């Protein structure tokens, strides 16, 4: 079916005059008349009553005019949605946070993206580095926040920020009364509580290498994530090194947070996505993240 004829008939129905409709459509009047007759033949019904000095719409013609306008409006909306999707201004973006970064770094990026692309539907969830990488590879999410350094085949990673690592001490610990920065030599043999290295090898090695450069002391207890680490510290099981925003968000009775001496330990926050061709919405989020990191 020729969509051009739907357009011609819609304009004719609005103008109710062949001369004005032809001028509006930039076609010759005989050509417009021919196309309308072809449209009637195509539909198999008479759309115009030509019995009087001026034509009128038949009942079928009035229905056809309404349907033509609705069809053309729908096509215009479709063009807009398609163009917006190609620009990255429409669509759906699946994002996974990492539990170790509850602070403003990731949240501000998502808020900025939402403000810039309000018509993109965001599906948000929370995981951790190894899980986010697995889900990226499986195509279950589009981008994921991770803790570099890391190497994952088929995955691109960009650093989008960093934060300090704090020392969590039991409130009854002798160093908890020290108000200045903690020297590394003072904690070289202290019992440690940590999470399993397989949860995020890059982050684990970055923390341990900066906080305990001579080697991690005995790990007396492993917990799956930082909330349980803080509980273990409060119970007096040992000390722990925790990213600042996570440590402050989980602060609890029985735990004192202290900063380490220079060089201050820091860990990066990265954004990961699948390598190769990416969708416009992913490209837009990655570009925004890189711009923010550059600032």
Per-residue pLDDT reduced to its tens digit, 107-123: 889 999 999 999 899 99
Q: Which is more confident, 154 or 2?
A: 154
Q: Which two tokens stand for residue 285?
A: 């989020």
pLDDT band at 104 (very low <50, low <70, confident <90, very high): confident
pLDDT band at 88 (very low <50, low <70, confident <90, very high): confident
- pLDDT of 295 reads 57
Span 211-230, average pLDDT: 92
Question: In what helix (H) or strand (E) does residue 279 lie, and over which residues does it extend?
Answer: none
Whether residue 263 is preceded by a cis peptide bond, meaning omega within 30 degrees of 0, is: yes
- pLDDT of 285 reads 93
pLDDT, tens digit, 9 for 90 and up, residues 51-66: 988 999 999 999 999 9
| Exposed / middle / buried, residue 153 (Cβ in 10 Å: 0-12, 13-18, 19+) | exposed
> What is the residue-averaged pLDDT of the chain?
91
d(C-alpha 157, C-alpha 188), whole Å: 33
pLDDT, tens digit, 9 for 90 and up, residues 124-166: 999 888 899 999 999 999 999 998 888 889 999 999 988 999 9
d(C-alpha 209, C-alpha 29), whole Å: 82
Span 21-50, average pLDDT: 94
Domains of the chain (ranges plus CATH)?
Answer: 3-87 (1.10.10.10), 93-160+268-294 (3.40.190.10), 161-267 (3.40.190.290)
Residue 216 has pLDDT above 60, yes or no: yes
- pLDDT of 144 reads 94
Buried b (16+ CB within 10 A) or exposed e, 272-287: bbbeeebbbbbebbbe
Residue 102 has pLDDT above 70, yes or no: no
Contact criterion met (CB below 8 Å) for 29 and 37? no
Residue 89 has pLDDT above 90, yes or no: no
Q: How far is CA 107 from CA 10, 34, 130, 145, in A?
A: 48, 60, 20, 11
Buried b (16+ CB within 10 A) or exposed e, 43-70: eeeebbeeeeeebebbeebeebbeebbe
pLDDT, tens digit, 9 for 90 and up, residues 225-253: 889 999 999 999 999 999 998 899 888 99
Read off the pTM: 0.68
DSSP label of 58 = -
Q: Which is more confident, 245 or 90?
A: 245
């Amino acid at each position: 079916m020729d969509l051009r004829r739907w357009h011609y008939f819609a304009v004719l129905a609005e103008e109710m005059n062949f001369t004005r409709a032809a001028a509006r459509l930039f076609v010759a009047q005989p050509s417009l008349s021919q196309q309308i007759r072809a449209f009637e033949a195509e539909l198999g019904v008479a759309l115009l009553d030509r019995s009087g000095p001026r034509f009128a719409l038949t009942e079928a013609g009035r229905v056809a005019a309404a349907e033509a306008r609705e069809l053309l409006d729908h096509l215009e909306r479709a063009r807009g949605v398609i163009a917006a999707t190609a620009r990255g201004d429409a669509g759906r973006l699946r994002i996974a946070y990492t539990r170790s970064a509850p602070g403003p770094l990731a949240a501000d990026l998502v808020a900025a993206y939402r403000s810039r692309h309000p018509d993109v539907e965001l599906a948000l969830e929370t995981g951790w580095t190894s899980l986010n990488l697995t889900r990226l590879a499986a195509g279950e999410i589009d981008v994921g926040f991770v803790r570099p350094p890391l190497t994952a085949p088929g995955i691109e990673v960009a650093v989008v920020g960093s934060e300090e690592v704090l020392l969590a001490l039991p409130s009854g610990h002798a160093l908890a009364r020290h108000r200045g920065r903690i020297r590394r030599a003072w904690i070289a043999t202290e019992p440690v509580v940590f999470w399993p290295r397989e949860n995020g090898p890059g982050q684990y090695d970055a923390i341990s290498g900066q906080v305990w450069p001579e080697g991690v002391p005995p790990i007396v207890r492993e917990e799956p994530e930082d909330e349980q680490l803080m509980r273990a510290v409060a119970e007096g099981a040992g000390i722990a090194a925790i990213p600042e925003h996570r440590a402050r968000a989980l602060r609890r009775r029985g735990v004192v947070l202290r900063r380490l001496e220079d060089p201050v330990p820091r860990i990066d926050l990265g954004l990961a996505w699948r390598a190769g061709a990416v969708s416009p919405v992913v490209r837009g989020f990655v570009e925004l993240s890189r711009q923010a990191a550059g600032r």
